[in-house]
Amino acid sequence: MGRVTARRRVLRIRDGVPGHRSDTLAAEEPMEIRVGGRALTITMRTPGSDFDLAVGFLVSEGVVHGPDEVLGIRYCAGATADDGNTYNIVDVVLAPGVRLPDLSLERNFYTTSSCGLCGKASLDAVRTTQHWSVADDDAEIDSEVLFTLPDRLRAAQRVFDSTGGLHAAGLFTTDGEMLCLREDVGRHNAVDKVVGHALQEGLLPLRGTVLMVSGRASFELVQKAAMAGIPVLAAVSAPSSLAVDLADETGMTLVGFLRGRSANVYTRAERLRAGQPVA
């Protein structure tokens, strides 16, 4: 398996005084996702929960929607100098009857940030492939519970404590119970890992849940949450304009700048209710 962290010797300057020390870094390695033995995409990720990442990506693409649609997942042989396995190639075998994604070089995956689609084209792509509606999800979350989620997310980040360089995505109930947490150098990968875990556990659609992410709320993260049936997405930083457009289009509650006891609710604010402080 690939390492989650790596050690490097660095020159550290504190109060103008230089010194050498060993520093812990978040690992970043490429992972190729294959479907039925054919290459689909390559993503840069932090090793760990690779099977979750692969099937979570397929959920985001609208390829699979339940565990019965995935026949198997395996590592393929890598290519190290001594013929060892790099664990950087994952092959997903789909069940008979599941439609394969477009594997041609000309494909346009609307979920990737570099796909070249934007604006109305992106919104239309999600609307036409979204398997579950979040607009009719009657989930409600108390504002006091919402305010606790960033600290709960941060407290559960094990690798961040040693590296300071990883994003996190945490799935919570509306009562604040953490169901799953994943870390990765890419915030989109962290979300895919959470969604992939949920798919393999047979939990999709994720009705009545809250996805809490470190960093900002991009269009891509809103799209991934919508494809998994998550009605509430909260982020510690700002959303993009297209992220707000997509949240509004799909009926998702989008919360940004969730810090301390402050937050901006951009869409579907009726899911947020005022309540009593949480112990």
Q: Which residues are catalytic?
A: 115
CA gap 186, 45 in Å, rounded: 6
CA-based R_g, the chain, Å: 19
Closest CA to 220 of 199, 238, 243: 243
Neighbours of 135 (CB within 10 A): 11
Tokens of 5: 């962290």
Neighbours of 71 (CB within 10 A): 12
Sequence-distant (6+) residues with CB within 8 A of 279 are: none
Distances from the Cα of 154 to the Cαs of 32, 82, 87, 259, 268, in angstroms? Answer: 29, 39, 28, 12, 26
Tokens of 144: 């006091």
Tokens of 193: 């890992």
Tokens of 256: 């940004």
3-state secondary structure of 51: helix
Instruction: Please state the length of the chain.
Output: 279
Sign of CA dihedral 268, 215, 146, 229: positive
Strands 167-173 and 141-142: unpaired
The C-alpha torsion from 36 through 38 and 42 to 43, rounded to 10°, is 0
